[in-house]
Structure 1
């Protein structure tokens, strides 16, 4: 079996990135200046463009090294890699343009630059995606494996072993466990790898067997052993990873922070806490909701006329909901029910064949057309296009006591659609399942995930079989 050196892979990645950048230069140059498909009034010599392409390639590789773009990728998601690639190349472009401005090289074609960067990102993403999928395929076949030793054969170690077996594409193979107090029965050995010895035998095991990573899955009371175990691993040149015994309390992707000079685990790391991420999402919301209002304005006009002709009462129904940071706001919807008498509060779920609905209102709710006015909530900043669905204060008070982690959803703006709704959890469905999806969205937010949810919502259609 061929075991590749990680440093060699990092160098290979950087070399192929550099080659992709130069291929992008050739493609952009040909398309802009030689193909005849685009107009131009003249061009600088090709040597000048080639020189700046080489400079850009060097800047991009250095930037990639500085932001750890070329670190091991076996455990990383491709979406995270795409975001980092975009950050690296946008930063590199800014540096390049700054240098060109400083040396007064300002005659480079803008069309060429746009093509150059587009080809650059496209080629790099394509080859990396193809390579990642190929490596997954070969790892499933048993090639390029990494061998893991688990210290601790208790519930924590066994759970990690079971989880790891569900991801054969990662290419990890557990060779066994070390534990001071437990050995597996013949029945358990059919499910788990054997206990190779006690924790004190770690150094001997590392000398005898080819091990790439040691995973510490010990209970809290074994904390005093950690220093010695880590020291032995470092002496042997083996990576050590720690699974905290309180991992159930941590998010899917825990974030380490520094507070008063001490490293701390942020129990609820939220990407949208970062100002840059909030700004990107807000700009996206403004652009998308403005476009949606313009496009759907004829539909909204027809809906308004339909409501006015089929029932008495206002066209727009305002209902108090709980939003970002538990602040209350009025959410707008097209009225789909009979107007409530003054002073009466609605605290009930809508049910099938609900007598409160109007005939036209039933159609609106089934097709989700009653939600269109919420784009105005998005414009005012009370909601987002994508996010957890907001609930009425009455139910928030009820669910906060009954559903674990229910209030976590209020760390971000509520949305017109969300990760739960895009996965079919709409209307009369499990609150627990919805919250689980909402928390995943909050902890894993990216603008690409928002776009994916919107596309999924549109492709699935707006008809909701669970809406009454």
Structure 2
């Protein structure tokens, strides 16, 4: 099953589940008739007296059903429930669903709380809705995952993969993957690395080429995932291997050692007890990157324009207090090692590093001006960085870019 089909199936199941949960609450809540609002509509348009019928309640709340469906789909997507859970257990996914459903129901309860109506009644309705969502959303996903697992064991819908490294690590990984077909890997071959034995077939699996030929192997054999089982010699080439496949629709996982885990290159994702973790050359799918970029732009414009009078006042005060420019430009290292100029309100005297060179500022640094001390304490000196966000050099959420000098120092201490 492709990732797109999997997401569409999950989305359809979730929409069906949240609407069935709403129907469940309507049936329980309104079959006996309690709310004055529905009684009023019933008298005006329903032509009836006494208890509000379930069918009338259903028609009255048909509109909110669409809004609720959108609400839950967005919430599930925000919490990553439409990402691939192939490598995790159904129990883990069930716990994640329970957490998200609980958060979503609490938000709905607070947003729709009407103090003019009996509070215990509203609580009972939300409690029933919460229980219905847990059972229906969780049950739907459990059914889908169980069906997926059945197909994978039968050999249907597996991801085509190659193992980079045909040495001992690679052979062990192949044996482990054969033990657990539910992982969903179809290993089409090995890719030989430096120091690997010059064999054409390993454990009945062909060697398709060398690491220099990996991009061509990915294209020729329609590879979807590259599993790295590198020797010490090959490990140094891992960044180059990933870069060589840039732009290809392929993901990377690896057999790690402790250094990999602490260096920040990987996300631990142990599956079925196998020491296999997922590399993160790209943290988000395209639609998430687009949404994140849109949020960066909107928030930056709102902050810069909405606070313009305050930013102008700060600029004037900086200019009046000490000589020098209003803004301080500093070189920073961005994504993929790109150098850019980061903007800040100047909070130090002019040419503060003329005699000291690049150093980190301390809390009682004598180079900081009086105005700068206040700006730093309130973090207002960093407001101009929203211009960097608009230019795409920085993001509201992400690692803080550091200066080239300090990056070079850290690289010497912690070489990649």
TM-score under structure 1 normalisation? 0.47
CA distance in 1, matches of 2:136, 2:225: 33
CA distance in 2, matches of 1:131, 1:151: 32
CA distance in 1, matches of 2:199, 2:265: 39
Q: 1:89 to 1:48 in 2, by over 3 A?
A: farther
CA distance in 1, matches of 2:164, 2:221: 15
- Aligned counterpart in structure 1 of residue 178 of structure 2, from 156, 161, 165: 165
CA distance in 1, matches of 2:12, 2:267: 36
The answer to whether the Cα contact below 8 Å between 2:17 and 2:137 also exists between their aligned partners in 1 is yes
The answer to whether the Cα contact below 8 Å between 2:190 and 2:206 also exists between their aligned partners in 1 is yes
Counting only pairs closer than 5 Å after superposition, residues 61-460 of structure 1 correspond to structure 2 as 61-101=73-113, 109-180=122-193, 181-183=195-197, 189=202, 191-244=203-256, 246=257, 263=264
CA distance in 1, matches of 2:118, 2:228: 56
CA distance in 2, matches of 1:17, 1:174: 32
Shift of residue 164 of structure 1? 0.9
Aligned twin of 1:31: 28
The answer to whether the Cα contact below 8 Å between 2:98 and 2:138 also exists between their aligned partners in 1 is no
Is 1:22–2:36 an aligned residue pair?
no
The answer to whether the Cα contact below 8 Å between 1:233 and 1:240 also exists between their aligned partners in 2 is no
Q: 1:118 to 1:266 in 2, by over 3 A?
A: closer
The answer to whether the Cα contact below 8 Å between 2:190 and 2:209 also exists between their aligned partners in 1 is yes
Q: 1:129 to 1:143 in 2, by over 3 A?
A: same
- Per-residue deviation, residues 14-55 of structure 1 (Å, max 9, x unmatched): 232122111111122223432x6xxx6456432565555444
- Per-residue deviation, residues 281-336 of structure 1 (Å, max 9, x unmatched): xxxxxxxxxxxxxxxxxxxxxxxxxxxxxxxxxxxxxxxxxxxxxxxxxxxxxxxx
Superposed CA RMSD? 3.2
Shift of residue 94 of structure 1? 1.7
The answer to whether the Cα contact below 8 Å between 1:164 and 1:172 also exists between their aligned partners in 2 is yes
The answer to whether the Cα contact below 8 Å between 2:164 and 2:191 also exists between their aligned partners in 1 is yes
Shift of residue 106 of structure 1? 7.5
Q: 1:43 to 1:15 in 2, by over 3 A?
A: farther
Shift of residue 146 of structure 1? 0.7
Q: Figure out how many residues of one structure are paired with residues of the other and give that number.
A: 248
Is 1:9–2:30 an aligned residue pair?
no
- Per-residue deviation, residues 58-110 of structure 1 (Å, max 9, x unmatched): 32221211111110121121111111111111111121122213898877643
Aligned twin of 2:414: none
Shift of residue 173 of structure 1? 0.8
Shift of residue 8 of structure 1? 4.3
Shift of residue 145 of structure 1? 1.6
CA distance in 2, matches of 1:137, 1:182: 36
CA distance in 2, matches of 1:240, 1:193: 20
- Per-residue deviation, residues 358-401 of structure 1 (Å, max 9, x unmatched): xxxxxxxxxxxxxxxxxxxxxxxxxxxxxxxxxxxxxxxxxxxx
TM-score under structure 2 normalisation? 0.53
CA distance in 1, matches of 2:239, 2:266: 19
CA distance in 1, matches of 2:28, 2:244: 58
Shift of residue 208 of structure 1? 1.3
Shift of residue 174 of structure 1? 0.5
Of 52-61 and 70-79, the range deviating more from structure 2: 52-61
The answer to whether the Cα contact below 8 Å between 2:225 and 2:253 also exists between their aligned partners in 1 is yes
CA distance in 1, matches of 2:205, 2:22: 52
Shift of residue 153 of structure 1? 0.9
> Secondary structure of 1:92's match?
helix
CA distance in 2, matches of 1:67, 1:89: 11
Gaps of 5+ in 2: 39-56, 271-416
